[in-house]
Structure 1
Amino acid sequence: MNEISIRTANLEDLKILLEFEQGVIAAEKPLDPFLDDGELFYYNIPELISNKNIHFIVAVANNEIIASGYLRIENSKHYHKNPKHGYIGFIFVKPSFRGNRVSTLILESLKRWATEKELKELRLDVYVGNSGATKSYERFGFIKSLVNMRMDI
């Protein structure tokens, strides 16, 4: 594989990031019966790019954006030991680059930024049925801590 670099996302990346967003949604739709039908959007990508409390990055190989992810600084619950934490989201790797630990490069970069911001904790959400993502996050050092449960009524 060619060398992969990480850089901050910018508004010129919007077209490919909108495609990545649809890739995330396509992967998650079969895992979540609560997602609505039709075209969905999860993210306000321009806001993710411009917000000073969010570090939004992309991975690039051969001048092609191949992956994305962000870390958002959030306030923790008043009863948690860390007053702030980093929330990781929008991890997406183009299918042709999966299995090459590109997500690890994204996560390492986000973790470095969080450390520079003096954060002591990272969090993320992953669907229980998304075993590939779960394994990748566990390999990176994340542990499962809470199960979110729902039901139709």
Structure 2
Amino acid sequence: MNENIKDIVIRPAVNADLPRLAEFLQFLVNAERPFDPTLKEGEIFYYSIQELILDNKTEVLVIECKGQLVGCGYAQIREAKPYQKHELFGYLGFMYVDPEFRGKGLNGLLINELNKWVLSQGISEVRLDVYYDNEAAVNAYKKAGFKAILTTMRCDISETDNE
């Protein structure tokens, strides 16, 4: 890691972080566009970051290096489907690391901290969504212990040949 590990701080997000977190969200949207032709043009806000920060069932963390925000993610407690073994699970989202800080283990550190929070809520099942073709992200999550269990597929039937 080029940055010394002592220069890295992972902490809960605060309202003062909102402008930078809003930038991160748009960076994420733009990174996901090539994998999802259904995304609208322009700015997209998947969720209100401020509401996530205020929600007691969500932990939003930021990665700081020398006072600069370089990444973020959240863990959220969600209800499982009635047919699943667990009643609640931790859901990870808004996972972002600035490109110049990627490949340095920061995503793994962030996931570890989010997992600790989920465990502190008495929950051990953790899930996330990732685009199937986003090999870098898929590999990062596999490295963190995640396994694929479901693939969502789509078809725009106006574009298919209905012979």
Structure-2-length-normalised TM-score: 0.92
Shift of 1:39: 2.1
User: Is it true that 1:114 corresponds to 2:118 in the alignment?
Assistant: yes
Distance 2:42 2:54 in 1: 28
Instruction: State which of 124, 142, 146 in structure 2 corresponds to 1:142.
Output: 146
Q: How many residues align?
A: 153
Residue of structure 2 in register with 1:60 after alignment: 64
Residue of structure 2 in register with 1:99 after alignment: 103
Kept in 2, the 8 Å contact 1:57–1:69? The answer is yes
Residue of structure 2 in register with 1:18 after alignment: 22
Shift of 1:43: 2.0
Distance 1:25 1:132 in 2: 16
> Over residues 67-116 of structure 1, what are the superposed CA-to-partner deviations in whole Å (9 max), with x where a residue is unaligned?
10000100001111110000000000011100101111110000000111
Q: Give % identity.
A: 40
> Over residues 101-145 of structure 1, what are the superposed CA-to-partner deviations in whole Å (9 max), with x where a residue is unaligned?
111111000000011111020000000111111101000000000
CA RMSD of aligned residues (A): 0.8
Q: Which runs of 5+ in 2 are unaligned?
A: 158-163
User: Is it true that 1:131 corresponds to 2:135 in the alignment?
Assistant: yes
Distance 2:128 2:23 in 1: 21
User: Is it true that 1:34 corresponds to 2:64 in the alignment?
Assistant: no
Residue of structure 2 in register with 1:151 after alignment: 155
User: Is it true that 1:45 corresponds to 2:49 in the alignment?
Assistant: yes
Residue of structure 1 in register with 2:160 after alignment: none
Residue of structure 2 in register with 1:9 after alignment: 13
2:69 alignment partner, SS class:
strand
Q: Which has the larger radius of gyration?
A: 2
Structure-1-length-normalised TM-score: 0.98
Kept in 2, the 8 Å contact 1:60–1:67? The answer is yes
